[in-house]
Every structure is written in structure tokens, then in C-alpha cells.
């Protein structure tokens, strides 16, 4: 329904279709979640605990999950990979609660960052991208946030990773592992990139209202 292609060397818009039209970002929301996380984490090795009530709510809502369970203790860097690669909603909310006490407080920071970047047609309600009529953006605004995200070397590393294994401690104290594959089919080699294009990374997303989305 809408899209934009921008040449970064000079900011020229190479192609666009309704780039300023209101759309629902689905899990592309998690790019902003990762940016706010990277800006506010003091130590990427600090431990984040997955809250039981949060996990149960997200499971009931049918949110995409990274595979962590209630009470699991996970390093912040693994949470960030869990946000971006498997699109784990429990990682998003766990990060939000860890940094600012609640998802609502974290989302306020997301909206502050959007305003700072000139994302004038964007409003966030969740840090997960679960559908809400008041949670919206545009293709152009998504371009703005992705360019901001790619300024972080750690973000570049995460979105350019084909597969990743997280080691964590579950609620009973046992050490476990989760392995994730990047959903970007250009990076995985399942789809050939256009001639002359090198894919550095990105994010997929889908809900019934948003349709299939890709940065």
C-alpha cells in the first residue's frame, strides 16, 4: 500500500508510493523499542527478568514470542536480539519494565524520540506493535527511525545477524538456550537481493490490519 526507497548518499527519494499515508507498523515498531533500549541501558550484560503476568497477557493476546517463559532471567543484550530476530513481545515488555517500570512509561519515551526525529505522523501505544487504532506511522517516518537505529553499531550487528543463540537462566535456575533465525530472507539467502544491492539488515512485521511489512 505504501513504501519509500531513499539513496543515503544524498537523501534522494528514488521511488515512493503514498509514503506519507497512515499505516500500522506491526512489529516494525520494535525498531524504536530497540533504539530506546540501546539509549537507556547502562550495561548490556545486566539481567532482565520476564514478569509472569506480562508473559501470560502476551500469550493470551497471541503476540509473537521469543521463547522465554515467566521468571526467566536474561541478559539485556540477549533481550535486544530477542526483540529484533524472533520479534519477541515478552522481550519488548521485559525491557520496558526493566528500564522505566512499565510499558506505558517506555512508550512515552518512544513517542518523545519520534518527536525528536521529526516523525510527525507517528504515534505509539505499545512497544510490541500489537494492533491499536491509535498506534500508527508512515513509510517515511519508518525510514527516519531506521536511519537513526543504524547509527548504533550494536543495532547494525543485531539486524545483520543470520542466526543467534541466547543462553539464559529459567525460573527454576536451570541454564537453557534459545536459537533464533533472522526472518529477513535476503540475509538468509532464501531470496536474492536486486543487482547492485547489499542488504545490511532490516525488520519484518505483520498483523491482519498492517499486512506484510518490511524495512
- Check 64, 87, 109, 183 and give the catalytic one: 87
Specify the length of the chain in residues. 215
**Continuous segment of H or E residues that includes residue 165:** strand 163-169
What is the dihedral sign for C-alpha 181, 185, 191, 194? negative
Residues with Cβ within 8 Å of residue 135, at least 6 apart in sequence: 24, 25, 29, 123, 124, 125, 126, 129
Answer for the pair 137, 25: CB distance below 8 angstroms, yes or no. Answer: yes
- Check 30, 75, 109, 203 and give the catalytic one: 30
- Check 27, 64, 75, 113 and give the catalytic one: 27
Residue 157 a catalytic site member:
no
Residue 163 a catalytic site member:
no
Strand, coil or helix: 103: helix
**Cα(71)–Cα(173) distance, rounded to whole angstroms?**
9
Residues with Cβ within 8 Å of residue 186, at least 6 apart in sequence: 192, 193, 199, 202
**Cα(149)–Cα(170) distance, rounded to whole angstroms?**
30
Burial classification of residue 169, based on how many CB atoms lie within 10 Å of its CB (0-12 exposed, 13-18 middle, 19 or more buried): middle
Residue 9 a catalytic site member:
no
Chain position carrying cell 550495561:
43
Active site residues: 27, 30, 87
Amino acid at each position: 500500500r505504501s513504501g519509500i526507497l531513499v539513496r543515503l548518499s544524498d537523501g534522494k527519494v528514488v521511488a515512493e508510493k503514498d509514503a506519507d499515508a497512515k499505516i500500522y507498523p506491526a512489529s516494525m515498531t520494535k525498531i524504536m523499542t530497540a533504539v530506546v533500549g540501546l539509549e537507556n541501558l547502562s550495561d548490556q550484560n545486566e539481567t532482565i527478568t520476564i514478569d509472569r503476568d506480562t508473559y501470560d497477557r502476551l500469550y493470551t493476546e497471541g503476540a509473537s514470542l521469543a521463547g522465554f517463559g515467566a521468571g526467566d532471567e536474561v541478559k539485556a543484550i540477549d533481550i535486544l536480539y530477542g526483540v529484533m530476530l524472533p520479534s519477541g513481545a515478552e522481550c519488548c515488555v521485559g525491557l520496558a519494565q526493566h528500564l522505566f517500570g512499565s510499558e506505558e512509561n517506555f512508550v512515552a519515551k518512544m513517542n518523545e524520540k519520534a518527536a525528536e526525529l521529526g516523525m510527525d505522523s507517528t504515534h505509539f501505544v505499545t512497544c510490541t506493535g500489537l494492533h491499536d487504532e491509535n498506534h500508527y506511522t508512515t513509510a517515511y517516518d519508518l525510514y527516519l527511525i531506521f536511519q537513526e537505529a543504524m547509527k548504533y553499531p550494536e543495532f547494525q550487528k543485531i539486524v545483520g545477524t543470520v542466526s543467534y543463540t541466547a543462553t539464559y537462566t529459567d525460573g527454576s535456575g536451570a541454564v537453557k538456550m534459545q536459537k533464533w533465525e533472522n526472518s529477513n530472507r535476503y540475509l538468509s539467502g532464501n531470496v536474492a537481493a536486486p543487482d547492485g544491492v547489499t542488504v545490511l539488515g532490516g525488520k519484518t512485521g505483520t498483523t491482519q490490519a498492517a499486512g506484510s511489512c518490511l524495512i
